[in-house]
Amino acid sequence: MSQRLHLVFGGELVDPQSTQFRDTDDIHIVGIFPNYAQAYSAWKAESQRTVDSAHTRYFIAHLHRLRDEETEVSATEELGS
């Protein structure tokens, strides 16, 4: 079984109804977590901390979904060769 890593990140959005960041240089990387429960806990803490900022949102990215374990090499790995 592969490891299921999750990235928690967020920042100020251009519009609260979108997912476009106002400034990608200011994206806050909360961390990478080994399971969804820990990622959710970190996401919830950051979301609650910034609740007064309507334009600030945090997200959980499922990093384990970016890699297809069934193929020999992923497309991303091929770029480095």
CATH code, domain carrying 53: 3.30.70.2400
Cβ atoms of 56 and 43 within 8 Å: the answer is: no
pLDDT of residue 70: 63
What is the domain range of residue 29? 6-79
pLDDT in tens, the chain (81 residues): 567 899 999 999 999 999 999 999 999 999 999 999 999 999 999 999 999 999 999 999 998 887 666 655 555 455 554
pLDDT of residue 73: 52
Phi, psi of 14 (to 5 degrees): -65, -45
Q: Is 43 within a domain?
A: yes
Cβ atoms of 12 and 27 within 8 Å: the answer is: no
Q: Is 22 within a domain?
A: yes
Q: Is 1 within a domain?
A: no
Residue labelled with tokens 């106002």: 22
pLDDT of residue 81: 46
Cite the DSSP H helix spans in the chain.
Answer: 36-49, 75-79
Q: How many domains does the chain have?
A: 1
Q: What is the DSSP letter of 74?
A: -
Q: Is the pTM of this model over 0.85?
A: no
